[in-house]
Amino acid sequence: MNWPGLNRRRNREAFAYVALGNFYGTVLCIGLADRSILTSVLRWRGWYIIARLSVGRYLNHMMVREPTHTNITFVTSILPAGSLLAFLLGLLVTVLGSASMAAISFVLVEYPGLALRDRWLSNSARQHSKEPRLSSS
């Protein structure tokens, strides 16, 4: 069937994305609902830390790029160009620089903001519980 404005390639791509989204959603729902030993890995506390650092690395990657590039070119200049050791050393410096910047921004910015949010939410919950209620009589 050939509809105007649509071609088979786009239909296949749309199907692939819809199928991938459905698969991801199904796995997510099963992981959240299932409390067996198989999904205990999903409840590991370390995922929270990894997620926070990943977001921090994403937000700060442009700020980290120039200083790490300068350091990488200095360190790898003593190694043969294009060698595996130079690549691995550059990758290590980049990942450590990015992760340390993400950790610093989490400690100095995000964590205090989350603590302030929790304080505001707990205060508003206490105020709502102290409000007088109408009696049902």
pLDDT, tens digit (0-9, with 9 covering 90-100), for 25-43: 888 888 777 777 777 777 7
Q: Are residues 123 and 76 in the same domain?
A: yes
Q: Are residues 121 and 133 in the same domain?
A: yes
Give the chain's radius of gyration (CA, Å).
25
Residue type, 3: W
Q: Are residues 39 and 50 in the same domain?
A: no
Q: Are residues 37 and 49 in the same domain?
A: no
Q: Are residues 84 and 122 in the same domain?
A: yes
Q: Check: CB of residue 98 under 8 Å from CB of residue 68.
A: yes
Q: Label residue 10 by pLDDT band (50, 70, 90).
A: low
Quote the CA–CA distance of 61 and 99 in Å, as a whole number.
Answer: 10
How many domains does the chain fold into?
Answer: 2
Quote the CA–CA distance of 62 and 96 in Å, as a whole number.
Answer: 15
Q: Which domain holds residue 121?
A: 45-137
Q: Are residues 130 and 71 in the same domain?
A: yes
Q: What is the pLDDT of residue 42?
A: 73
Q: Are residues 52 and 21 in the same domain?
A: no
Q: Check: CB of residue 72 under 8 Å from CB of residue 94.
A: yes
